[in-house]
Amino acid sequence: MLQNLLELLKHLNDKLLVGGPVVILLGLMSILAITIIVAKLMQFRAVGISDFRAAREALSLYRAGNAPSALAATRRSRSPVARVARRTLELKHRQSLPEPQMREEIMQYGADILEQLRSHLRTLEVIASLAPLLGLFGTVLGMIEAFQALQAAGNQVNPALLSGGIWQALLTTAVGLGVAMPVMVALSWFEGLVDRQAQEMDSIVTRIFILDPSQVDTDADMDSDDAFVYRRPVI
């Protein structure tokens, strides 16, 4: 079994090397893309990217008039939405800022979190866009070489010479598409997850702000070690 696998890998390696430097470059791009995809999967899993339960529970508790329990609920999750909900509740409890500045502060805080989630997605987008073009570029170069060889053969034309050059040229296009398609799928999925976070953040923050403060019990102790302290920007 192992011997068959090694032979298959050697066969694939030989085929790819026939494609020349373009295929080698595409191979390096695929390694980079796989590395980024694995890193993003680990990052999203670590932050609980799909965990909205804590934030929604906190919103329900806050709307019921129990602000301390709402804040405690947000601390049970590391999800981006829960973090934004916690920051919003802390700011509203302190009431040290006018509401427009408070909203701006929360918006910036949420934008920073989303930027972290979007890190390296631009690289995946470039790979997904560039890989097919590189494959086509390699094919064009291969076709030029094939017809140059055909011209050099003169009257001694061998059909195998042309067909062999063509399949070698088309190999780069196949590799380029093979790299681009899974990267595009992964990129679309990641972007969908981030967009869902942004929508959920906006929904939670808006619902907290539209609630009448007089309906909420803010007299209880809401202080914590990680409580937010507003820092004025340095001008």
- Tens of pLDDT along 140-187? 887 877 777 776 766 666 666 666 667 777 888 889 999 999 999 999
In this predicted structure, what is the pLDDT of residue 157? Answer: 60
Residue 128 has pLDDT above 60, yes or no: yes
In this predicted structure, what is the pLDDT of residue 1? Answer: 53
In this predicted structure, what is the pLDDT of residue 84? Answer: 92
| pTM for the structure as a whole | 0.77
Is 189 in contact with 125 (CB distance < 8 Å)? no
Q: Select from 138, 194, 126 the least CA-distant residue to 166.
A: 138
How far apart CA 186 and CA 125 sit, in angstroms, is 10
Q: Phi and psi (nearest 5°) for 76?
A: -85, 0
Q: Say which range, 53-62, 112-121, 178-187, has the weakest mean pLDDT.
A: 53-62
